[in-house]
C-alpha cells in the first residue's frame, strides 16, 4: 500500500499542505521478502523543485533493494561479538539483552534464541546499509529526475516477528507507543532527527568544507550551505539526493535502531516533519491510541496536525503531512487497561512544545563510523570551526520547528550539446 488506506495491521494517510505539490510519500508492504511474518514500512519527505519525484522513486525502489540485500553473511560468534558491543544501548525498555563480556552462560534454548535474534538484526543491518548506498547511487546515475538540489528524507523499518530494525536518513521520525510498568501508555522515540544542529553532524559537514549556520531571521533553524555560496540552505544533515552538497558533508548513510518487541509495545508511528513540527511524541501517541478504529488512526493524526498548524502558525503555510501507523499486536490489551491509559493521558497538562522525561524515553540509534567514513570526502579541508555549545540541549530528542527544508535552489545546469561542443573546439584551434 502506498495510497491512503489501511489493512489489519497498519493504516497510512497523507494530506497535501499549502506549499504546492505534495512531496510526502509512504509505503506499507506486508509479507515483505515473501515472509508471512514480515512487514516493511516507510515515509519519505521530498524537498527542492523535484522533491516529490525523488520521494516517490525512493519509495518504489528502496524496499526492493533492502529485500535483495537481506542475507545472513556472518557466523554466529562474530555476530554476537559485534552486536553485544554496538547494540546493547539501542533496545526498547522490554528488549532482550545480548550476551556481553563477563555474563554468566545462558541455557541452550535461550542462547539459541539470542543467536537467532542477532542473526536477524545483523542481516537487516547489512541490507539497510547496502540498500541506502545503492539507492543514492541510482539517483545520481538516472537522468529523468534532477537530484542536484532536490532530495528526500526516509524513515523505514522492517519488522519480522518480534524483531524490528529501523533505518533513518533526515528528520522524519519513528515513535513507539508502549506501556510503562504501571500500565500507562508512553512514547519512546526510536530515531534521532538528523539535523545540522546536532554537533556530530555539524562536525562532519564542516570537516568536508560545508558551512553550518542559521540565518538571523530564523536563529532556531540551522542549515547546510556550500563553501562559497549561500545555497541551498538545507535544514537536514542527511538525505537522499541533494548532490550539490554530497562532497561537502551531506551523506545518505542511515542511522540504525534495533529493538526486540515486548508484549507492552502496541504500535509504531512513522511520520514526516509536518507532523512533528506541531505535535510532540506524547501527543502523537495519545491521538493514535484514542482513534475510534485502527483504520482511521493515521487519518486522525494527520488531520489533527493540520488543525495544529492553523492554530500555532496562522500566518504560515501548512506543511505536507504523512503518517504510517503499524499496530504490533504483541498482546491483547484489556478495555480496562486502555481506559486507564486514556484517563492518564487526558490528565497530563498539555505541553505541545516540550516533553518531560517521564513522557519521552529516547532510544539512541546505532551509528556506523566506518560507513560514515566511506562517504566523507575532502579530508584535507579547512580546520574545524568552533562547535556549538550542547550543554543545555538533548540532541537525541529535538522537537520540530516550523521551517522550509531548502531556502535557495541552485540553477539547473543544462549539458552542452555535442554539436555546440564540436563547434567550440574548432574555434579554439583557429
CA distances from 414 to 92, 182, 244 (A): 49, 62, 15
Task: Say if 110 falls within a structural domain.
Answer: yes
pTM tops 0.85, yes or no: no
* DSSP conformation letters of 7-56: -SSEEEEEE--SSSS--EEEEEEESGGG-TTEEEEEEEEEESTTHHHHHH
Q: Per-residue pLDDT tens for 280-333?
A: 999 999 999 999 999 999 999 999 999 999 999 998 899 999 999 999 986 544
The mean-pLDDT minimum among 125-129, 230-234, 284-288, 327-331 falls in 327-331
Q: Per-residue pLDDT tens for 364-379?
A: 333 343 334 334 434 3
CA distances from 297 to 54, 355, 375, 399 (A): 27, 22, 38, 22
**For residue 178, which of 249, 265, 89 has the smallest C-alpha distance?**
265
φ, ψ of residue 353 in degrees (nearest 5)? -100, -10
Task: Say if 414 falls within a structural domain.
Answer: no
* Count of alpha carbons within 13 angstroms of residue 24, beta-carbon side: 29
Total Cβ atoms within 10 A of residue 413? 8
Nearest-angstrom CA–CA distance, 208 and 227: 9
C-alpha dihedral (236, 239, 241, 247), degrees to nearest 10:
70
Task: Say if 350 falls within a structural domain.
Answer: yes
| Residue 99 predicted with pLDDT over 80 | no
The pLDDT, as a whole number, for residue 35 is 86
Task: Say if 423 falls within a structural domain.
Answer: no
Q: 333 or 50: which carries more pLDDT confidence?
A: 50
| Residue 430 predicted with pLDDT over 60 | no
Task: Say if 98 falls within a structural domain.
Answer: yes
Percent of the chain with pLDDT over 70: 66
The pLDDT, as a whole number, for residue 115 is 65
346-350, Cβ contacts within 8 angstroms, sequence gap of 24 or more: 348/282
The pLDDT, as a whole number, for residue 114 is 61
State which residues form the domain around 216.
Answer: 5-397
CA distances from 352 to 137, 167, 174, 340 (A): 39, 27, 18, 22
Q: 346 or 62: which carries more pLDDT confidence?
A: 62
Total Cβ atoms within 10 A of residue 339? 10
Which pLDDT band holds residue 56 (cuts at 50, 70, 90)?
Answer: very high
Number of domains making up the chain: 1
The pLDDT, as a whole number, for residue 212 is 96
Task: Say if 419 falls within a structural domain.
Answer: no
CA distances from 206 to 9, 243, 371, 382, 407 (A): 43, 17, 18, 8, 19
The pLDDT, as a whole number, for residue 113 is 59
Q: 94 or 231: which carries more pLDDT confidence?
A: 231
Task: Say if 368 falls within a structural domain.
Answer: yes
- Output the nine-digit C-alpha cell for 354: 516540550
Q: 416 or 48: which carries more pLDDT confidence?
A: 48
Q: What is the CATH number of the domain that holds 157?
A: 3.60.40.10
**For residue 41, which of 95, 2, 15 has the smallest C-alpha distance?**
2
Task: Say if 155 falls within a structural domain.
Answer: yes
Name the residue with cell 516477528.
161
Amino acid at each position: 500500500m502506498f495510497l491512503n488506506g489501511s489493512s489489519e495491521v497498519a493504516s497510512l494517510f497523507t494530506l497535501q499542505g499549502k506549499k504546492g505539490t505534495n512531496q510526502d510519500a509512504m509505503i506499507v508492504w506486508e509479507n515483505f521478502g515473501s515472509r508471512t511474518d514480515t512487514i516493511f514500512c516507510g515515509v519519505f519527505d521530498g524537498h527542492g523543485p523535484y522533491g516529490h519525484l525523488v520521494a516517490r522513486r525512493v519509495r518504489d525502489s528502496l524496499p526492493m533493494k533492502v529485500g535483495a540485500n537481506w542475507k545472513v553473511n556472518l557466523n554466529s560468534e562474530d555476530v554476537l561479538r559485534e552486536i553485544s558491543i554496538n547494540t546493547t544501548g539501542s533496545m526498547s525498555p522490554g528488549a532482550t539483552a545480548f550476551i556481553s563480556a563477563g555474563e554468566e552462560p545462558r541455557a541452550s534454548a535461550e542462547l539459541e534464541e539470542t543467536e537467532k535474534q542477532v542473526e536477524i538484526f545483523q542481516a537487516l543491518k547489512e541490507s539497510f546499509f547496502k540498500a541506502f548506498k545503492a539507492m543514492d547511487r541510482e539517483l545520481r546515475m538516472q537522468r529523468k529526475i534532477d537530484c542536484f538540489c532536490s532530495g528526500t528524507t526516509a524513515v523505514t523499518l522492517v519488522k519480522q516477528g518480534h524483531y524490528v530494525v529501523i533505518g533513518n536518513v533526515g528528520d522524519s521520525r519513528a515513535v513507539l507507543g508502549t506501556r510503562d510498568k504501571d500500565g500507562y501508555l508512553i512514547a519512546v522515540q526510536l530515531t534521532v532527527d538528523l539535523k545540522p544542529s546536532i554537533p556530530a553532524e555539524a562536525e562532519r559537514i564542516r570537516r568536508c568544507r560545508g558551512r553550518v549556520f542559521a540565518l538571523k531571521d530564523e536563529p532556531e533553524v540551522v542549515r547546510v550551505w556550500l563553501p562559497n555560496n549561500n545555497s541551498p540552505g538545507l535544514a537536514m544533515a542527511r538525505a537522499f539526493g541533494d548532490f550539490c552538497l554530497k562532497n561537502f558533508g551531506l551523506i545518505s548513510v542511515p542511522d540504525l535502531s534495533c529493538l526486540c518487541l515486548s508484549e507492552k509495545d502496541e504500535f509504531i508511528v512513522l511520520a514526516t516533519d509536518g507532523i512533528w513540527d506541531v505535535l510532540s511524541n506524547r501527543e502523537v501517541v495519545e491521538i493514535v491510541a484514542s482513534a475510534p478504529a485502527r483504520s482511521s488512526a493515521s487519518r486522525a493524526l494527520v488531520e489533527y496536525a493540520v488543525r495544529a498548524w492553523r492554530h500555532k502558525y496562522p500566518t504560515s503555510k501548512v506543511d505536507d503531512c504523512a503518517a504510517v501507523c503499524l499496530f504490533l499486536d504483541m498482546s491483547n490489551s484489556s478495555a480496562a487497561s486502555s481506559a486507564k491509559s486514556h484517563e492518564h493521558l487526558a490528565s497530563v497538562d498539555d505541553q505541545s512544545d516540550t516533553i518531560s522525561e517521564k513522557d519521552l524515553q529516547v532510544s539512541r540509534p546505532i551509528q556506523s563510523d566506518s560507513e560514515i567514513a566511506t562517504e566523507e570526502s575532502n579530508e584535507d579541508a579547512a580546520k574545524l570551526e568552533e562547535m556549538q555549545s550542547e550543554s543545555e540541549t538533548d540532541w537525541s530528542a529535538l522537537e520540530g520547528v516550523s521551517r522550509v527544508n531548502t531556502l535557495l535552489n541552485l540553477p539547473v545546469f543544462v549539458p552542452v550539446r555535442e554539436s555546440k561542443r564540436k563547434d567550440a573546439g574548432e574555434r579554439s584551434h583557429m
